Each structure stands twice: as structure tokens, then as C-alpha cells.
Amino acid sequence: CRFNDSRLGDNCTLVCDRGYRRRVASPFRVCTVDDAQNLSSGVTWVGASECVPQQCATPPLDEFADESVQECRNALYLQRCRVGCLAGYGPGGVFGRTTYDCGVKTLCQDRDCVGWVGGLPCQPLACSELPDEPHGTLDCSSTALNTTCALTCDVNSGYAPDGPATFSCSVVDASLGTVAWTSTPVCVPQPCVGTPFL
């Protein structure tokens, strides 16, 4: 309907843009007599007239997000939410925070398509790359958090680890969430034992 060209008894249907909903359930406005308005003509529009932003009611789903994810609850369409990760995790495996947007989901044709978009999931951080060991073998599947590695030295050539042969990538500072190897042993020559002369 056109508000400037409507007459008594006309109905208008309120259709909200994507990301918005009608404040009340009724989609209609009716041009009717309304004495309560105290208008000189007594004719006015009555009924729903306002579109309000939809909500992203629940926080983004991320099992490794920290408690800051709860601040995203009941965010409104077009609001942003910054989420931190648990110690040892970061957005996309990089240290920091990630930003989610309460927006319209892609590939959704319905009007109820509001949800969390963007943001990178919290993934394990990685420790530094380990150097090659010329006098032994490193058994290490990755450099990610909680990976355990083992160093085997060439004992037949007289080498042994200079520390624990098994080590792992662990959280070293929970307040910062940083990770590092618990140790980084190398193969070192073993000293000769006994006396050289009899």
C-alpha cells in the first residue's frame, strides 16, 4: 500500500528486510477510525508498524573458546562479538582473538537466516619448528599443542640425548596462552669411560 494514497478500511502488510523481524506478530496495519488518537479526522493507521533487528540468541559454537564467548549471547543483527580462545589455542591456530558478526548466513533463502558469520575457530597453537638432528632421529608428527616427540640418538656412533629424550609442545604461560617445547634435546657425543692406559 501507499500511505499517501490510502483510504479508510485499507490494509498494509509490513514486510521487514532480511535481518529484521516485526515487533509484534500481526503483519497488518489498518486504516481505521480510532477515537483514542483524538485526531480531527478520527482516521489513522492501527497495527504493527516497526521492524526490529533479529537476535543471534546463542553464542558461536567453538569448543575451545574461552568464557568471553558468553558475551555474544542475544546479540542483535549487525552487532560484532570478539571471542578469545583457551590457553594454547588461537583463531585459526594464530595467537589472538577472533571477531564474529551477527549477520545473514550465506546460501540461506529464508528470512530467518540470522546467525553468526565470519570468525575463525579456535585451533591449537604450534610450537617452533625443530631443527634436523644430524646424529639421530626425531619422531615428531607435528608441532601442534599437545604433540609428543621423541629423540633417538645414534648410540653406535657414541651419541646420546643431552636431556629427556621425550618432550612435548605445551602451554608455558597460561595467562598469555603461549606454547613452547618442554625441552629441546640434541644428540651430543658421549665421554669416554675408563682409563686410556693400563
Check residue 129 and give its pLDDT.
92
Check residue 9 and give its pLDDT.
64
Calpha distance 10→145 (Å, rounded): 66
Among 84, 63, 61, 70, which Cα is nearest to 174's?
84
Per-residue pLDDT of the chain (198 residues; tens, 9 = 90+): 655 566 666 777 777 888 888 777 666 666 665 555 555 556 665 665 678 899 987 888 888 999 988 989 889 999 999 999 999 999 988 888 889 999 987 777 666 688 888 888 999 999 999 989 999 999 999 999 999 999 999 988 999 999 899 999 999 888 888 899 999 999 999 988 777 666
Check residue 152 and give its pLDDT.
96
Check residue 126 and give its pLDDT.
93
Residue 57 near residue 23, CB atoms below 8 Å: no
Conformational region of residue 9, where left means phi above 0, alpha means psi within -120 to 50, and beta covers everything else: left
